[in-house]
Structure 1
Amino acid sequence: MGLPVLGILTLYLNDNGALEERPIYQRMSLAGKKLGLDVFVFTPQDVNYKQNRIHAHVYNPATKSWTRRWSSFPNMIYDRCRIQRSHRFQQLLHFRKQYGHLTFLNRVLRNKWTVYKTMRKEARFRAHLPLTRMYESPQDLTEMIRKYPLVYLKPINGTGGRGILRIERHQDGTYLIQGRDQSRRIISPQRVPLSSLHKRLASWNLKSNRYLVQQGIQLKLSNGRVHDYRMLVQKNGEGIWEVTGCAGRIGAPRSITSNLHGGGEAVTMKALLGRWIGNEETAEKVKKTAEELGVQISSFLEQSYGRLCELALDLAIDRKGHIWLLEVNPKPAREVFIQAGEKETYRRAIIRPLEYALWLHDQKKLRKEKSTIRDETNPDT
């Protein structure tokens, strides 16, 4: 009998067949072999729906190259597909509908607004959620900016810092607008009175593009650069949620976000939190509280939306050490750890989904064996 098979589901980045995270998949393929798991990569485009077969991408360690082979469907599917504005994303929706009965390591998480509303229902999380509302009209922004001196405007499905705006109220009554466009380019800062604010934002089509208005947390370091923390929470080889690691991110100069793709840099959480809080003992307590919160959030979201295997939580920690959940990412990258110099955390981040896949496969096998024994013991039931 062959090894259990894990299929990593992804999307081509373009019509030339480029895959976004191929180096990560290569490492997963090699690590899977050592664990006793066969790993291949595929996209919805590679599926033959009539024959229920997949034209898979397979990494060959002997030749250190990728090849293609026709394969049966895997025992488990690890969905790494991120939102795309393309025909490829429509193919993904069709695949998920057609094969939703298969064993997925992770189900689809909802958009930022739905996740926020779900979490707001739980009293234990409310204090950690910056107040957020859907942008339905200019009045929504006006009310928020009057209530809070700093607000962020975020696309409901945006990733990587694209299309985010930061609006800060100054003592003279003017408002500073900063941000990034949909290509992550930093836009020129603008300072306007309230009477001109909405006019300046008109080109962003905030309502039709489905934006959120979120309470801002002051996170500028002494050098003027913003910072936050990326926490990776994953299932381990026993199906239990654990914090794999947490790293600090410092945004590029003039950037309103800390995203690495936008020019940010990664540092260890210990170094950044110690610098921000100033007291080592307090910083250690905050770190422990953040880890406990991360596990609670991940477990709750899995109960709410179905099986998950990993989540990245973007956290802000204010000067008082209070923890704020800025965003939840169900398809996290791992580069933050390698850039922060945490090689062991990076290795664990790659291996844990594989260990969880094996555990899930064993649980399924165990249930099947128990069911067979039950049927044989009670043939008439």
Structure 2
Amino acid sequence: MSPKKIIGILAWREGKRFGEPEYLRRLVHAGHLLGAEIFVFSHQDVFASEKKIRGFVPKESGGWESSWFAWPQIVIDRYRRRVPEYMKLRHSGLFDFANSPFSKKWRVTQLLAKDARVKRWIPETYVYAPATLKTMLVKHPILYVKPGNGTGGKSILKVAERGSKYQLSGRDKNYARKTASLSDPEEVGKWVKRWVNEQRIRDGNFLLQQGLDLELVPDRVTDVRLLIQKDKKGEWRVTGCAVRVGEKGSSTSNLHGGGKALPFHLLVSRRFGEERAQKILQECHHMAHQVAMVLEEHFGRMMEFGLDIGVDVQGKTWLIEVNPKPGREVFQQMGALDLYAEAICRPVQYACYLIEEKTKRLTKEVELSSRRRR
């Protein structure tokens, strides 16, 4: 009987409070079903000199209980705050991670925009500067102003030209909706500058991105959330996708901002017809595989990506954003519980695959070494 696989999940913790606790619970449960020893830990739980680690597992009654665990053979990184203690641990070489560190949105966008395999899907994007905003306002009827290190649809501002007016709409750091209607580009410039200063996250920059007409439903922003993951054989597979439909008048489709998730074909087929919808879906899948390949070449081993894909009113596909630590609630919300379960299981299956591959490699090395000694 092969020894138990030991998997750690690195996550933010304060006391016994974890970031995204429900997802972490489900990951641990998925690991137990696969016969692995699996636990959650944070940067303050690592005692490297003693080769000891304090891990947490969910209690049936709710909450978490801690105990000492053996050193993990592989670690899944779900830490979503770039605090110094996390960064230090991430680059310490103490663990073998299933997923490599990723970069800020601007660097990723630049990288993808220069690569021949994927650049056709990238909207025009620049770092925010008042002069660049002026140029982009002339060039594009819709613009997005978004934080380069944001997540969850917060602090994204949409600027749309409507006749002689500019309609500005966005959600601030607290998801409160903010709107303005301005006729003078100079006033737009001042409003955006104030937004950038107020919404800035730590020392992060803001991006200006070519806006797309994504209103497949009138007065509602829609986009496709696609999840691509490594499977139990270590190969990239699209787990599934859904269309997110934003609240009426909202600048984003994000679920936290009141958006709703629908099956892809329900909305896209209704808009473009069955045959065209199938071609759009195939292109989304092709894009996901190409993007995953390009990013893995640059950043090292990765295990999953959430892609936000825009399908404009002409049916053209665009890559809006890539998230290396994606959520998967979109499947849960649209009632696709089989996809939701698979989306949770795959990271653990991939971690098990990496442990098995490592064991095979070590066994071969031992065999080669003993042959040389004979």
Which interval holds the TM-score relative to the shorter structure? Answer: over 0.9
Residue pair 1:232, 1:313 contacting (<8 A) in 2 also: yes
In structure 2, the partner of 1:326 is 320
The answer for unaligned runs of 5 or more in structure 2 is none
- In structure 2, what is the Cα distance between the partners aligned to 1:221 and 1:16? 45
- Contact 2:117/2:290 (8 A) holds in 1: no
1:103 matched to 2:81: no
Q: Distance in 1 between matches of 2:195 and 2:62?
A: 46
1:194 and 2:185 correspond: yes
Name the aligned partner's letter for residue 11 of structure 1: W
Percent same amino acid at aligned positions? 35
Task: Measure the CA separation in 2 of the matches of 1:205 and 1:23.
Answer: 32
What are the superposed Cα offsets for residues 33-92 of structure 1, whole Å, 9 maximum, x if unpaired? 22121110011122234423222112356x6763110123211100011136xxxx2221
Q: Do the aligned partners of 2:16 and 2:63 also contact (CA within 8 Å) in 1?
A: no
- Offset of residue 164 of structure 1: 0.8
Describe the shift of the 1:318–1:202 C-alpha distance in structure 2 as closer, same or farther (beyond 3 A): closer
CA contact (8 A) 1:179 1:189 kept: no
Of residues 64, 67, 76 in structure 2, which corresponds to 1:66? 64
What corresponds to 1:235 in structure 2? 230
Partner of 1:115: 108
TM-score under structure 2 length normalisation: 0.94
| 2:92 paired with 1:94 | no
Q: CA deviation at 1:120?
A: 1.7
Matched, 1:313 2:304: no
Task: Tell me which amino acid in the other structure corresponds to 2:78.
Answer: R
**2:8 aligned with 1:7, yes or no?**
yes
> Where do 5+ consecutive residues of structure 1 fail to align?
none
1:215-250 C-alpha deviation (Å, 9 max, x unpaired)? 011012444111101000000010000000001101
Partner of 1:128: 121
Given that 1:244 and 1:349 are in contact with CA atoms closer than 8 Å, whether structure 2 keeps it comes out as: yes
Residue 205 and residue 228 in structure 1: after superposition, are their counterparts in 2 closer, same or farther (change >3 A)?
A: closer
- 2:204, 2:98 → 1: CA distance? 31
- 1:252 to partner: Cα distance: 1.6
The answer for the alignment partner of 1:295 in structure 2 is: 289
Query: For residue 21 of structure 2, what is the aligned residue in structure 1?
Result: 22
Change (3 A) 1:205 1:33: closer
Q: Answer yes or no: is 1:147 the counterpart of 2:173.
A: no
Partners of 2:63 and 2:160 lie apart in 1 by 50
Looking at structure 2, the residues matched to 350 and 30 of structure 1 have their Cα atoms a distance apart, in angstroms, of 10
- Residue 209 of structure 1: CA displacement? 4.6
Closer, same or farther in 2 for the Cα pair 1:169/1:65, shift >3 Å?
Answer: closer
The alignment yields a C-alpha RMSD, in angstroms, of 1.9
1:82 matched to 2:80? The reply is yes
For residue 264 of structure 2, what is the amino acid of its counterpart?
Answer: M
CA distance in 2, matches of 1:60, 1:198: 52
SS at match of 1:40: strand
Q: Which residue of 2 aligns with 1:359?
A: 353
Contact 1:42 1:57 in 2 (8 A): yes
Q: Mean Cα displacement is larger for which, 39-48 or 188-197? A: 188-197
**Paired residues of 1:226 and 1:251 also in contact (CA < 8 A):** yes
Question: For residues 291-328 of structure 1, what are the alpha-carbon distances to aligned partners after superposition, in whole Å with 9 as ceiling and x for unaligned?
Answer: 12111111211111011000000000112321100000
Distance 2:48 2:366 in 1: 31
Q: Write out aligned runs for 1:150-229 (5 A).
A: 150-172=142-164, 174-205=165-196, 209-229=204-224
Query: TM-score under structure 1 normalisation?
Result: 0.92
Distance 2:51 2:180 in 1: 53
1:129-154 CA-to-partner distances (Å, cap 9, x unmatched) read 0010111x311111111111111011
Would you say how many aligned residue pairs link Structure 1 and Structure 2? Answer: 369
Q: Separation in 1 of the partners of 2:98 and 2:20?
A: 18
| Structure 1 residues 283 and 96: CA distance shift in structure 2, 3 A | same
* Contact residue 126 and residue 208 of structure 2 kept, 8 A: yes
Secondary structure at the aligned position of 2:178 is classed as coil
- Structure 2 counterpart of 1:56: 55
* Aligned counterpart, 1:34: 33
Counterpart code for 1:230: R
For residues 64 and 151 of structure 1, the distance between their equivalents in structure 2, rounded to whole angstroms, comes to 45
**1:209 to 1:285, Cα distance in 2 relative to 1, 3 A:** same
C-alpha displacement of 1:161: 1.0
CA contact (8 A) 2:130 2:193 kept: no
Amino acid at match of 1:304: H
Q: Any idea what SS the aligned residue of 1:243 has?
A: strand
State the Cα distance separating 1:101 from its structure 2 match: 4.9
1:5 positional shift: 0.9
1:23 partner letter: E
Residue type of the alignment partner of 1:171: G
Q: CA deviation at 1:167?
A: 0.8
Whole-angstrom CA distance in 2 between matches of 1:52 and 1:142? 56
Give distance in 2, aligned partners of 1:95 and 1:23: 24
Indicate how the Cα distance of structure 1 residues 59 and 200 shifts in structure 2: closer, same or farther if over 3 A, else same. closer
Contact 1:42–1:55 (CA under 8 A) maintained in structure 2: yes
Which secondary structure does the structure 1 equivalent of 2:121 belong to? coil
